Amino acid sequence: MDLKQDLKHLYNPPTKTVGVVDVPPLNYLLIDGEGDPNTSQVYAKAVTALYNLAYGIRAISKDQGQVFTVMPLEGLWDLNETPADFLITSEDKATFKWTMMIAQPPHITTKLVEEARETVHRKKNPLLLDYIRFETYEEGEAVQIMHIGPYSEEGPTVELLHRTIDENGWQLAKRHHEIYLSQPDRVVPEKMKTIIRQPFSR
């Protein structure tokens, strides 16, 4: 099972045109924090704990006969819990509020997540593991596009999404959303793929 394939319209957008999607409610592992992701030890520990739990869930699911691909890391970003009408590349990153998350297949239950959490505690016991929650996030309508290049050059892509929303007479809604399809330690910055998504209301 690979949710990226099942939800291809959400996880494989075009690179040159803005698409409009209606994102259904999806279950995620989520953890909240704040600060510059480039320098914050809390951010690094949060991401480590997320992946540890995600792979722990996958291992139990596999043992039960349901194999799935772990989804990419995603992030919701803002400065003060308002719609993200800021230029993410030029803001003071130390003031960022973030929620990092990994989508889970429909068959994953709270019971299975807690079983995996206990196993990960015994085997790896990463810091912040107990701060991860399992819940549904309903995003709704959004514009999105694939950004190719380093995170530091996302500014024009974000502006394009905001301009699309404004030109259609819509309003920014909910938080700036990014989906990280490339691993920075394995892909040169110029070729990194990041889905940039901005929810809106009509």
Residues 154-199: pLDDT tens digits? 989 999 999 999 999 999 999 999 999 998 888 999 999 999 999 9
For residues 198 and 165, give the distance between their C-alpha atoms in angstroms, rounded to a whole number.
9
Which residues share a beta bridge with 180?
A: 73, 194
Tally of domains within the chain: 1
Q: What pLDDT score was predicted for residue 73?
A: 97
Which residue do the tokens 């790896």 mark? 124
Q: What CATH number is associated with residue 132? A: 3.20.80.10
pLDDT tier at 88 (50, 70, 90 boundaries)?
low
With 90 as the cut, is the pLDDT of residue 93 above it?
A: no
Rg of the chain in Å (alpha carbons)? 17
Give percent of the chain above pLDDT 90.
Answer: 80
As a whole number, mean pLDDT of residues 97-119 equals: 97
What would the two tokens of residue 153 be? 């050059």
Q: Look over the chain and give the mean of its residue pLDDT values, rounded to a whole number.
A: 93
Span 136-158, pLDDT tens digits: 999 999 999 999 999 889 989 99
Structure confidence at residue 82 as a pLDDT band (50, 70, 90): low
Distance CA 50, CA 132 (A): 7
Higher local confidence (pLDDT), 135 or 81: 135
Would you say the C-alpha torsion 86, 88, 90, 91 has a positive or negative sign?
Answer: positive
Domain of residue 183: give its range: 3-201
- Whether the pTM exceeds 0.75: the reply is yes
Asked if residue 29 lies in contact with residue 132, where contact means CB atoms within 8 angstroms, the answer is yes
The pLDDT of residue 83:
57
pLDDT of 161 reads: 95
The better pLDDT of the pair 38, 50 is held by: 50
Tokens of 58: 């996958």
